[in-house]
């Protein structure tokens, strides 16, 4: 089986639980270290699937790797190679499909409830889950691109997930581990302080309260999504 390509855009925003999930199921994968200057691969058909992780930058920043990544996403979708995006990754997917990425009304940082839409398509991905506690860390948001369908929303961000064919874009972070949350809390202290104590931004202490159980529950939701996504991986 060809590997899943995991695009890493920041050293602190690796695949987390997503790679653990792939390992448990014997699915090969490799990191494409965009943050280290690794070039965008030439052909998405070299991979069974494409995963896009998060990052502190904006899709709208004039970074040299963003246009080739957008082209790569479009090429993967044209070739029916499944794509899954987490936070920045979901924003890249929306932009590649003709959506727009803008500032969210507020920053959303920490744990918050995500509500699943009461639609048949949402049930295909989430099963009987109607809402769940997810982790968030973003100041921008994507529009639902043409041809896609929204699957979930939250109080602070209307567009939390969308799907088009076998491709899943997410604003929320379902891939978290306790170690990643601790690392982000440490590196993000200035951003949290600058947010000014708004209700949509939690303190590091609040983010790490009962974190092991929260992450286990979140991983259970992620497994449902990843099960659906990996069912369409290219087997050749």
Residue 235 falls within a domain, yes or no?
no
Residue 213 falls within a domain, yes or no?
yes
Number of structural domains the chain divides into:
1
Residue 236 falls within a domain, yes or no?
no
Residue 55 falls within a domain, yes or no?
yes
Residue showing tokens 């949509």: 200
Are 13 and 188 contacting, i.e. CB atoms less than 8 angstroms apart?
no
Q: What pLDDT was estimated at residue 197?
A: 81
Q: What is the CATH number of the domain that holds 74?
A: 3.40.50.880
How would you list the strands of the sheet with 4-8, edge to edge?
29-33, 4-8, 49-52, 83-86, 167-170, 161-164, 149-154, 101-116, 131-142
Are 53 and 12 contacting, i.e. CB atoms less than 8 angstroms apart?
no
Neighbours of 128 (CB within 10 A): 7
pLDDT by position in tens, the chain (length 236): 999 999 999 999 999 999 999 999 999 999 999 999 999 999 999 999 999 999 999 999 999 999 999 999 999 999 999 999 999 999 999 999 999 999 999 999 999 999 999 999 999 999 999 999 999 999 999 999 999 999 999 999 999 999 999 999 999 999 999 999 999 999 999 999 998 789 999 999 999 999 999 999 999 999 999 999 999 997 76
Q: What pLDDT was estimated at residue 236?
A: 67
Q: What pLDDT was estimated at residue 147?
A: 97
* Tokens (6 digits) for 107: 């920053």
Provide the residue range defining the domain that includes 137. 4-230
Report strand pairing: 149-154 vs 131-142: unpaired
Instruction: Give the integer Cα–Cα distance in Å for 226 and 10.
Output: 22
């Amino acid at each position: 089986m060809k590997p899943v390509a995991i695009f890493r855009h920041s050293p602190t925003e690796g695949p987390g639980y997503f790679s653990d999930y792939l390992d448990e199921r014997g699915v090969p994968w490799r990191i494409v270290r965009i943050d280290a200057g690794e070039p965008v691969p030439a052909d998405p058909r070299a991979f069974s699937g494409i995963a896009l992780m998060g990052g502190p930058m904006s899709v709208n920043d004039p970074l040299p790797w963003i246009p080739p990544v957008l082209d790569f996403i479009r090429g993967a979708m044209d070739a029916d190679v499944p794509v899954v995006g987490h936070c920045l990754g979901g924003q890249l997917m929306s932009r590649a499909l003709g959506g727009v990425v803008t500032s969210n009304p507020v920053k959303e940082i920490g744990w918050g409830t995500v509500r699943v839409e009461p639609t048949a398509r949402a049930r295909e991905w989430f099963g009987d889950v109607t809402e769940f506690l997810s982790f968030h860390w973003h100041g921008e948001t994507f529009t639902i691109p043409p041809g896609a369908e929204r699957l979930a929303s939250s109080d602070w961000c209307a567009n939390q997930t969308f799907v088009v064919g076998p491709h899943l874009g997410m604003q929320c972070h379902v891939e978290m581990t306790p170690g990643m949350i601790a690392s982000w809390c440490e590196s993000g202290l200035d951003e949290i302080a600058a947010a000014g104590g708004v209700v949509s931004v939690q303190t590091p202490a609040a983010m790490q309260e009962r974190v092991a159980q929260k992450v286990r529950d979140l991983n259970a939701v992620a497994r449902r999504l990843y099960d659906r996504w990996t069912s369409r991986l290219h087997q050749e």
